[in-house]
Amino acid sequence: MRKFLWSFFEIVETVTIAIIAVFLVRTFVAQPFLVSGSSMEPTFDNGNYLLVDELVYRFREPQRGEVMVFKYPGDHRSYYIKRVIGLPGERLVIDRGTVTVFRNGEEKILQEPYLGSVKTTEYVEMELGSGQYFVMGDNRNFSFDSRIWGPINHSDIMGLVRLRLWPINEAQAFSAPVY
Catalytic residues: 39, 82
Radius of gyration, CA atoms only, the chain: 20
Phi, psi at 116, each rounded to 5°: -80, -160
**Which of 94, 142, 139 minimizes the C-alpha distance to 114?**
139
Three-class SS state of 84: strand
How many helices, marked H, and strands, marked E, lie in the chain?
Answer: 2, 12
Max intra-chain CA distance, the chain: 79
